[in-house]
């Protein structure tokens, strides 16, 4: 697969992921949030495992891998998606999408804390800019401090829980294929989501039978296309391009979620959100070390040229 095709597919995937925030917002407004998330994630996990089984790429896990998968399912699926669903039921899709743009930056911070990545002045500046951007989004979403909502806090906690799961994923990918991790964590995490959802939302299944057809089309698009096949495509891109180059595309997700919330939900985009978006993107670019990695590769290439 050539780079041009991979870039094109990644661009389409970022648009799908950005619009998926709007899809989840619609679903959690129509259904009980945790219950519908459980079924959405379970559907995605079945799709991923089905593809792996068809390609004969499924294998049993050892004890250590099972432990890591349990932690990933708890933080990256159960905590992340329950917090995200609850948050989006109490805030706007535009705010939610912009706050989710912190995922690469938060992951970079956790990598510094737990995986030994180096903190540099540029990364520190990026961290500050990123969280200043979130402050703009949260406090100015509808015109001032009064607009800050509990939903925004839940989405921010969802970001932190997903970043935590990425630390565990980084550790277990040394012995386990990332696609297999994705499938198993989605299925196991969704079962935990469903069990908890039955306690918190005992009437959560009642609305399923009355849902119109267009809602289930959104459900399938979100589960199969965005979450299931989307994560497999992203992992495949990492294999061909590397994690750093692929992760840069994540910066487009908040942009598409902002546009989608305006086009599909009619949400008003405020200047505070636009300023927040600019600060978050600047923070992500600096805080994740994109510029430093690029400089490093340019220096290596320059040495090779001078050597020849």
Residues 18-60: pLDDT tens digits?
999 999 999 988 898 899 999 999 999 999 999 999 989 888 8
Q: What is the pLDDT of residue 245?
A: 62
Asked if residue 161 has pLDDT above 80, the reply is yes
Instruction: Please tell me the pTM assigned to this model.
Output: 0.79
pLDDT at 304 over 60: no
Mean pLDDT over 257-276 rounds to 85
pLDDT of residue 306: 55
Crossing angle between the packed helical segments 253-265 and 271-287, to the nearest 10 degrees? 160
- pLDDT, position 269: 82
Distance CA 221, CA 223 (A): 6
Contacting residues for 234 by C-beta, under 8 A, at least 6 apart? 10, 13, 246
Cβ partners under 8 Å of residue 38, min gap 6: 190, 191, 193, 194, 197
- Name the percent of the chain in helix, strand, coil, to the closest 5: 85, 0, 15
Is the pLDDT assigned to residue 146 strictly greater than 50?
no
Q: Which residue has the tokens 């979100």?
A: 222
Block residue for tokens 């705010």: 95
Element (H, E) at 33: helix 33-54
Provide the residue range defining the domain that includes 258.
3-307
Return the pLDDT at 46. 95
- Domain tally, the chain: 1
pLDDT tens, 97-118?
888 888 777 877 887 788 777 7
């Amino acid at each position: 697969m050539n780079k041009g095709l991979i870039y094109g597919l990644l661009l389409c995937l970022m648009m799908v992921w950005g619009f998926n925030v709007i899809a989840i917002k619609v679903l959690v407004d129509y259904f009980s949030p945790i219950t519908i998330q459980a079924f959405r994630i379970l559907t995605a996990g079945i799709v991923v495992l089905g593809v792996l089984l068809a390609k004969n790429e499924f294998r049993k896990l050892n004890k250590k891998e099972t432990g890591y998968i349990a932690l990933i399912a708890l933080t990256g699926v159960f905590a992340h998606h329950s917090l995200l669903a609850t948050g989006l039921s109490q805030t706007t899709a535009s705010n939610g999408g912009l706050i989710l743009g912190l995922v690469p930056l938060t992951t970079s911070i956790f990598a510094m804390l737990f995986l030994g990545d180096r903190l540099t002045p540029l990364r520190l500046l990026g961290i500050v800019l990123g969280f200043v951007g979130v402050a703009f989004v949260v406090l100015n979403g509808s015109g001032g401090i009064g607009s800050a909502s509990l939903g925004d806090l839940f989405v921010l906690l969802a970001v932190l829980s997903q970043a935590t799961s990425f630390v565990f994923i980084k550790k277990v990918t040394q012995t386990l294929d990332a696609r297999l991790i994705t499938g198993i964590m989605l299925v196991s995490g969704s079962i935990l989501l469903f069990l908890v959802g039955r306690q918190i939302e005992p009437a959560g299944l009642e609305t399923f039978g009355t849902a119109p057809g267009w809602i289930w089309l959104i459900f399938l698009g979100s589960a199969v296309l965005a979450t299931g096949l989307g994560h497999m495509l992203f992992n495949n891109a990492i294999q061909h391009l590397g994690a750093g180059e692929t992760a840069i595309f994540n910066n487009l997700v908040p942009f598409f979620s902002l546009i989608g919330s305006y086009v599909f939900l009619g949400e008003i985009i405020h200047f505070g959100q636009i300023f927040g978006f600019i600060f978050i993107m600047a923070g992500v670019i600096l805080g994740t070390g994109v510029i430093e990695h690029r400089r490093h590769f340019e220096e290596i290439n320059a040495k090779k040229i001078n050597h020849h």
